[in-house]
């Protein structure tokens, strides 16, 4: 990530929990996630 502080703030505001470290982002969707969850993630990252 180029700006991890900003990215984490946007994800937190969107109530999205992800793993982060060393300027990397780890997303681990599972069978419990719906397409709306993925859309919300992509919107928060855009």
SS (HEC) of the chain: CCCHHHHHHHHHHCCCCCEEECCEEECCCCCCCCHHHHHHHHHHHC
pTM of the predicted model, to two decimals?
0.72
Residue-number span of the structural domain to which 30 is assigned: 4-45
Number of domains in the chain: 1
pLDDT at 1: 74
pLDDT at 4: 84
pLDDT at 31: 93
pLDDT (tens, 9 = 90+) of the chain, 46 residues, equals 788 888 888 998 998 888 777 778 888 888 999 999 999 999 998 8
């Amino acid at each position: 990530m180029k700006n991890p502080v900003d990215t984490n703030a946007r994800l937190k505001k969107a109530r999205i929990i992800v793993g982060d470290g060393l300027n990397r982002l780890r997303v681990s969707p599972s069978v419990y996630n719906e397409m709306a969850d993925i859309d919300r993630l992509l919107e928060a990252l855009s």
